[in-house]
Chain A
Amino acid sequence: GAGVSQTPSNKVTEKGKYVELRCDPISGHTALYWYRQSLGQGPEFLIYFQGTGAADDSGLPNDRFFAVRPEGSVSTLKIQRTERGDSAVYLCASRLTSGITDTQYFGPGTRLTVL
């Protein structure tokens, strides 16, 4: 049980549909992050959970995006009424504590394509 896992690895959907992306963090890690990475760009922060609560959701681009972490482990990123501009790789990362000296461990990402 090693690293952060994300499912699905690839998701193709049509414009206007609803999608859910799942992240399984490293067991015991209390902090969980979602980032979005567009082609040729670095990851951009979306939302950060400490435990079950969203400590910072300032990176969510609009109200079509929502994320939950109901039991403090697995997290789901939900996107409503998808648009072509939502196409990107969505990365999840987890960290053991909220301490700033600890590194984040990244999952392989979910590649979302909106047609």
Chain B
Amino acid sequence: KQEVTQIPAALSVPEGENLVLNCSFTDSAIYNLQWFRQDPGKGLTSLLLIQSSQREQTSGRLNASLDKSSGRSTLYIAASQPGDSATYLCAVWDNYGQNFVFGPGTRLSVLP
């Protein structure tokens, strides 16, 4: 059964810092991996989708990498801003199911 973990559980940084969020998954047989953002009381917003054949995806200040063989992904946020404060969730779509398996999330606070 696929399991997804995220480290750290919570992170607080001053505005302007670059930061890295980590995601690990136990079964490398995945179709894709996706990073989502969740604001309090809101649904999930897709940030980046990485196909299993890809190594990374970039969107603005965000860069996500995927190392399928080691079961790891990182989300890099450059020049963090207070508006980046949210919970970031990693999810994998594996070869066995028809749904995402989510990690528990990293709660990010960017202090002005």
Within 8 A of B (CB), among A68-104: 91, 93, 98, 100-101, 103-104
Contact assessment for A106 and B44 in the assembled complex, using a CB-CB cutoff below 8 Å: yes
Contact assessment for B43 and A91 in the assembled complex, using a CB-CB cutoff below 8 Å: yes
Contact assessment for B43 and A108 in the assembled complex, using a CB-CB cutoff below 8 Å: yes
User: Which of chain B's residues have a CB closer than 8 A to the CB of A48?
Assistant: 98-99
User: Which of chain A's residues have a CB closer than 8 A to the CB of B105?
Assistant: 40-42
Minimum C-beta distance from A109 to chain B (A): 6
Contact assessment for B89 and A42 in the assembled complex, using a CB-CB cutoff below 8 Å: yes
Minimum C-beta distance from A88 to chain B (A): 13
Within 8 A of B (CB), among A1-56: 3-4, 33, 35, 40-45, 48, 55-56
Contact assessment for B43 and A45 in the assembled complex, using a CB-CB cutoff below 8 Å: no
> What class of interface size applies to chain B in its complex with A?
20 to 34
Within 8 A of A (CB), among B49-80: 49, 51
Quick check: is A59 within 8 A (CB to CB) of the other chain?
yes
Minimum C-beta distance from B8 to chain A (A): 13
Prevailing SS type, chain B contact patch = strand
Minimum C-beta distance from B47 to chain A (A): 10
Partner of B98, one of A42, A55, A111: A55
How far is A41 from B87 in the complex, measured between Cα atoms in Å? 10
Contact assessment for A56 and B99 in the assembled complex, using a CB-CB cutoff below 8 Å: yes
Minimum C-beta distance from A27 to chain B (A): 17
**Known contacts A41-B104, A42-B4, A42-B105; is A108 also within 8 Å of B41 by CB?**
yes
Contact assessment for B100 and A56 in the assembled complex, using a CB-CB cutoff below 8 Å: no
User: Which of chain A's residues have a CB closer than 8 A to the CB of B18?
Assistant: none
How far is A37 from B41 in the complex, measured between Cα atoms in Å? 12
Contact indicator per residue, chain B 95-108, by CB within 8 Å of chain A (1) or not (0): 00111111111000
Contact assessment for B42 and A108 in the assembled complex, using a CB-CB cutoff below 8 Å: yes
Contact assessment for A42 and B91 in the assembled complex, using a CB-CB cutoff below 8 Å: yes
Can you identify 11 A-B contacts, CB atoms within 8 angstroms? A3-B43, A4-B43, A40-B105, A42-B91, A45-B100, A59-B99, A91-B43, A101-B49, A103-B49, A106-B44, A109-B41
6 additional A-B pairs beyond A98-B98, A107-B43, beta carbons within 8 Å, are: A43-B100, A91-B44, A100-B32, A101-B31, A101-B32, A101-B49
